[in-house]
């Protein structure tokens, strides 16, 4: 198979894939007839082909995928005017702690926040696919250790958690964090806050400020790096 045909096959597979494709997937696609170095070259060429379009090929934690550019969000949102899910401050503070201190136990999270963390807070994050239990700490009771998932990184358009932790964030990570900080006002519905009391007042005292880089406002479930769930049949020129 020549390079042009290989690029066409790879591009088609990436466009049609429902999930990010790993390099291993690509090797299988070509029945191991195309090496990893060649695949990386083909990926770079495909990125160049789409560089002037509203869709881009990017590498995220789970692999490679096509997704809409951030500049297209204003228009695409018109097709889906419904508001994304809103998350309480308790949920977002917990997520921030896990992201920046992982692996971390629930007790350690509570020490940082200064309040007891309702089990529903962690359950929300697990159901969203953003955090998971990766093991148990070798101490009394062997408490669960929580960490973020590849799905969480994919939603942010990041390749690794280090991009989120780094003080010198990449432009892509900065944009993702900006989305976190600016999307929505805190929800009025107390039911969205597992730590809220029946009268709507926050459960426990307000957490004291700390040095964690906070991902602490509202999260857009799709984020500016939303993947193309509906594939187009538009090919690059």
Look up the CATH number of domain 89-192.
Answer: 1.10.10.10
Q: How far is CA 122 from CA 53, 86, 126, in A?
A: 39, 15, 6
Give me the pLDDT at residue 85, please. Answer: 67
pTM: 0.60
Which residues in the chain show pLDDT less than 70? 82, 84-85, 165-237
Give me the pLDDT at residue 160, please. Answer: 83
- For 89-136, the pLDDT digits (tens) are 888 888 888 888 889 999 999 988 888 999 999 998 999 899 999 999
Paired strand residues for 104: 146
Question: H-helix or E-strand containing 109?
Answer: helix 106-113
Q: How far is CA 113 from CA 20, 31, 51, 94, 116, in A?
A: 35, 51, 43, 8, 8
- Lookup: tokens for 213: 């880089």
In CATH terms, are 3-76 and 89-192 the same topology?
yes
Give me the pLDDT at residue 168, please. Answer: 43
Choose which CATH entry (1.10.10.10, 1.10.579.10, 1.10.3720.10, 1.10.10.60) describes domain 3-76: 1.10.10.10
* Angle (CA) 196 202 208, round 5°: 130
d(CA 47, CA 205): 49
- Lookup: tokens for 40: 């990386």
Break the chain into its structural domains and give their ranges. 3-76, 89-192
d(CA 66, CA 227): 6
Give me the pLDDT at residue 146, please. Answer: 95
């Amino acid at each position: 198979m020549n390079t042009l045909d290989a690029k066409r096959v790879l591009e088609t597979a990436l466009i049609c894939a429902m999930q990010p494709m790993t390099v291993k997937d690509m090797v299988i696609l070509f029945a191991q007839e195309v090496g990893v170095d060649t695949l990386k070259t083909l990926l770079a060429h495909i990125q160049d082909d789409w560089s002037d379009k509203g869709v881009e090929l990017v590498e995220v934690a789970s692999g490679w995928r096509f997704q809409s550019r951030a500049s297209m969000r204003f228009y695409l949102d018109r097709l889906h005017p419904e508001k994304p899910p809103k998350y309480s401050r308790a949920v977002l503070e917990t997520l921030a702690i896990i992201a920046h201190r992982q692996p971390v136990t629930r007790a350690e999270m509570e020490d940082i926040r200064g309040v007891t963390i309702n089990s529903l807070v962690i359950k929300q994050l697990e159901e969203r696919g953003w955090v998971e239990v990766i093991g148990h700490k070798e101490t009394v009771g062997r408490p669960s250790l929580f960490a973020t998932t590849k799905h969480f990184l994919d939603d942010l358009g990041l390749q690794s958690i280090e991009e989120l932790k780094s003080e010198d964030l990449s432009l892509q990570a900065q944009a993702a964090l900006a989305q976190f900080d600016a999307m929505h006002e805190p929800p009025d519905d107390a039911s969205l806050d597992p730590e809220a009391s029946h009268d709507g007042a926050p459960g426990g005292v307000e957490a004291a400020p700390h040095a964690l880089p906070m991902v602490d406002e509202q999260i857009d479930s799709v984020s500016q790096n939303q993947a193309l769930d509906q594939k187009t049949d538009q090919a690059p020129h």
